[in-house]
Amino acid sequence: MQDKSKDKPIHGISVISLTPFTDDGTVDTQSLRSLLDFYLAAGVHGVTLLGIMGEANKVTERERRTIIDTAVKQVGGRVPVTVGCSAAGTHQAAEFAREAEMAGADAIMVAPPQNQRNLNLVLEHYRRISEACTLPLVIQDEPTTTGVMLPPDFFSRAVKEVPTARYVKIEESPTIMKVSRIREATEGKLGLFGGLGGMYFYEELERGAIGIMTGFAYPEILVQVYEQFMSGMRAQARRYFYQYLPLIRFEAQLGVTGVAIRKETYKLRGAIASSYVRPPAPAVDRQTLNELADLVQFLGLENI
């Protein structure tokens, strides 16, 4: 079993990084470095690469290595870097995990293989990845994309049978109930992160989540909520969170549209050069962009 004393704990806002592209669809490493600096200046407590928001399913294996190497070097150990290593097959996911470890990542995140309903096989998938890589494992509970429902007792088995399992990122709605059920089933042995764009972040913290993994384009807002909450200023944290919930709700639109909205926002904020989303992807219409600009202005965020 892995020596847990060597883990770099993950907590707070582990922002799901976008993968910036140029207008012709090439991975834009300069914008990636700029974006990572933007995240760090916002006070995030960690960075997660190659998640759904990072368009992980649209990059080549060579591009994966470029993205990981660029990010690990740019972050420079200032916060933990988690790398998404989800794949259709166990051997592929294990190889992704080994590569992430060799590149200097601090943790890996893996979703179940898509549409695999046999949970014994899903658990075996995680066991084999754990054998291939010593990094702490974040189990990504994401039924909308994977088609796999992971009940709370699955995580109680994972605690016992997957040596590197340390965390869960919960995307099943409503996340707040799932936080409580997994905590109870595992006796608090897994660190729980919320998701779903941050829509239930305050409630997730109230239920015992240790943070959130999301690509929300104003991460400093979530940082402020987390730090107020952890400092015991819960009323202030709740008020601040609810103040910006309309923007969180607007951004958290499912599917590729959510990626495009966030890229447009980060481009407006000067963090990336292009809002290009790799195809197949629907375009964001002008009305949506106008609604976004109107909401940002309404909340007083246009100069931030």
- Residue 167 phi/psi, 5° resolution? -140, 160
- Of 165, 216, 222, the closest CA to residue 192 belongs to 165
Structure token digits, residue 95: 């190889």
53 marked ligand binding residue:
no
* Amino acid letter, 219: P
Dihedral angle of Cα 226, 232, 234, 237, to the nearest 10 degrees = -30
User: What's the gap between Cα 119 and its chain centre?
Assistant: 23
DSSP string, 61-84: HHHHHHHHHHHHHHHTTSS-EEEE
- Of 136, 190, 147, the closest CA to residue 171 belongs to 147
Binding residues: 213
Binding residues for pyruvate: 213
